[in-house]
Amino acid sequence: MQQRMLIREVPSQIGKEVFLKGWVSVRRDHGKLVFLDVRDRSGSVQVVVLPNHLDSCAAVHEVRNETIVSLVGRVNERPANAKKEGELTGGVEIEALELTILAKGEEDLPIDVSSSDLDVNLDTLLNNRTVSLRHPKIQAIFKLYSLLLAGYDQACRKEEFVEIKTPKILSSATEGGANFFKIKYFDREAYLAQSPQFYKQAGATVFERVFEIGSVFRAEPHFTSRHVNEYVGLDGEMAFIEGVEDVMAMLEKIMFSTFSFFALEGEIELNRYAGHLPPQVAIPRIRLSEALRLLKEEYGKEVENEDIDGEGERMISEYVSKKYGSDFVFLTHYPAALRPFYSMPSADGKYTETFDLLFRGVEIASGGQRIHEYRMLVDSIRRKGLDPEQFRDYLDVFRYGAPAHGGWGLGSERIIQKLLGLGSIKEALLYPRDVKRLTP
């Protein structure tokens, strides 16, 4: 039995026989010739079945788009006028000598994945996920996503962060508000983690620097292009900081290092979306109150409750991009009323030592310095109308002394969404969950 070869190796095999396995993306019949575009994980190549090989390739009669085949074929150089410029295998064609069907569909495909752009609406794309994922342009999203996870991991380790995994079934909600899922836990109630907040803080007080890549559950009842109900958070937390500036500096470093990883390995995938990497210029830091003033002055936009909405975030990003040439911006010093109880208040007591990081118009991270003094934390819990008794275990982290610390939580799918310019965050999840969608 011949050894399987990957399609990316084919161009170096001119004149030789190769053995391939893969999917038939498209079948085209031209008179007595049958052309098959065959793809595997490494690329795609054109195969031709000539009439004189029809005996050994009789299976071709049953080949449809997306049939899974193996084949033995001879690699021929294409005539100069038939070469496809810019394609890895555009200079060669395989003359099939033997063709076998490995698997074929029971039914016709629910959607056509043979064209270079998959032209279906979001619901159709997601309802038929196992088929839509066969499309190379859709696969590119998840290859880049995989690079994001690897890049973040490497960037954190380079800065001596220790990777931790924290429980997702909790006895109390972490982030406050009402967007938590309550679940039945034997004879008690429990909550799905809205973030690893408490445990990563505990981690930072022991290991100094920790990071986590983990699932986050949010019972957001709304439909937007940037919310889902289960996402993967890229969290970080670090101790012995002088202030929130140290946290922003570290997040900036880790972001740029992560994005450099795309440049090294994700070029083909980025090109499929005409996606471009953000310039690595120092990320501007603007106080939220200043951003709100700019919105009013530059865009005539009034705001409510000293908060910024989605439209305001888009406008500020646009402003910063024009003025500073940065695709990122840190908005800092959110009012205490808008932030969770664990946020360190600023000296004036009205604002907090917190930030949001915007990327191309969307918030991709929140973070800040945390309260690390026990008494202050108990007071802050009370001021939010909560009962410190409910946070007994979390308070233990501070009861015995904790260093000054802070960190961030990034939404991984939003990064990919904005990097590739996807219309909805849901395109960046293999199997997204929203208010209506619990399958596939």
Just list the catalytic residues.
218, 220, 226-227, 363, 366, 414
* 44-52, 255-263, 378-386, 409-417 -> range binding ligand AMO (CB under 6 A): 409-417
Provide, rounded to whole angstroms, the least separation between the CB of residue 224 and ligand AMO.
Answer: 9
Determine if 366 is a binding residue for ligand AMO (CB under 6 A). Answer: yes
User: What percent of the chain is helix, strand and coil (3-state, nearest 5)?
Assistant: 35, 25, 40
Determine if 367 is a binding residue for ligand AMO (CB under 6 A). Answer: yes
Question: Which residues sit opposite 211 in a β-bridge?
Answer: 163, 236
Determine if 408 is a binding residue for ligand AMO (CB under 6 A). Answer: yes
DSSP 3-state of 327: coil
Provide, rounded to whole angstroms, the least separation between the CB of residue 96 and ligand AMO.
Answer: 46
* 51-59, 121-129, 144-152, 226-234 -> range binding ligand AMO (CB under 6 A): 226-234
Nearer to ligand AMO by Cβ, of 67 and 166: the residue is: 166
Cα distances (Å, whole numbers) of residue 217 to 152, 187, 230, 233, 356: 21, 22, 5, 10, 20
Nearer to ligand AMO by Cβ, of 38 and 365: the residue is: 365
Contacting residue, 135, 414, 418, 426, with ligand AMO by CB under 6 A: 414
Determine if 411 is a binding residue for ligand AMO (CB under 6 A). Answer: yes
* 181-189, 260-268, 363-371, 387-395 -> range binding ligand AMO (CB under 6 A): 363-371
Contacting residue, 233, 266, 361, 432, with ligand AMO by CB under 6 A: 233
* Greatest Cα-to-Cα distance within the chain, rounded to the nearest angstrom: 86
Q: Other CB atoms closer than 10 Å to residue 15's CB: what's the count?
A: 8
Determine if 246 is a binding residue for ligand AMO (CB under 6 A). Answer: no
DSSP 3-state of 244: helix
Structural contact between residues 176 and 391, judged by C-beta atoms closer than 8 angstroms = no
Contacting residue, 60, 125, 173, 228, with ligand AMO by CB under 6 A: 228
Provide, rounded to whole angstroms, the least separation between the CB of residue 356 and ligand AMO.
Answer: 7
H helix and E strand count, the chain: 11, 16
If you ran DSSP here, which 8-state letter would residue 279 be given? Answer: P
Determine if 363 is a binding residue for ligand AMO (CB under 6 A). Answer: yes
* 39-47, 102-110, 137-145, 407-415 -> range binding ligand AMO (CB under 6 A): 407-415
Determine if 43 is a binding residue for ligand AMO (CB under 6 A). Answer: no
Provide, rounded to whole angstroms, the least separation between the CB of residue 416 and ligand AMO.
Answer: 11
Could you give the CA distance from residue 148 to residue 412 in angstroms, rounded to a whole number? 8
Residues between 146 and 205 with contacts to ligand AMO, criterion CB under 6 A? 175, 195, 197
Nearer to ligand AMO by Cβ, of 44 and 332: the residue is: 332
Which helix H or strand E contains 250, and what residues bound it? helix 244-265
Cα–Cα nearest to 43, from 98, 96, 90: 90
Nearer to ligand AMO by Cβ, of 345 and 367: the residue is: 367
Determine if 409 is a binding residue for ligand AMO (CB under 6 A). Answer: yes
* 8-16, 20-28, 79-87, 357-365 -> range binding ligand AMO (CB under 6 A): 357-365
Cα–Cα nearest to 203, from 153, 237, 169, 154: 237
Structural contact between residues 118 and 135, judged by C-beta atoms closer than 8 angstroms = yes
Determine if 427 is a binding residue for ligand AMO (CB under 6 A). Answer: no
Structural contact between residues 374 and 398, judged by C-beta atoms closer than 8 angstroms = yes
Structural contact between residues 191 and 168, judged by C-beta atoms closer than 8 angstroms = no
Structural contact between residues 96 and 89, judged by C-beta atoms closer than 8 angstroms = no
* 68-76, 142-150, 158-166, 360-368 -> range binding ligand AMO (CB under 6 A): 360-368
Question: Mask 196-225, x = binds ligand AMO (CB under 6 A)?
Answer: -x--------------------x-x-----
40: left (phi > 0), else alpha (psi -120 to 50), else beta?
beta
Question: Which residues sit opposite 235 in a β-bridge?
Answer: 212, 409
Query: Helix crossing, 392-399 with 374-383: angle to 10°?
Result: 150
Residues engaged in binding ligand AMO (CB under 6 A)? 175, 195, 197, 218, 220, 227-228, 231, 233, 363-368, 407-411, 414, 425
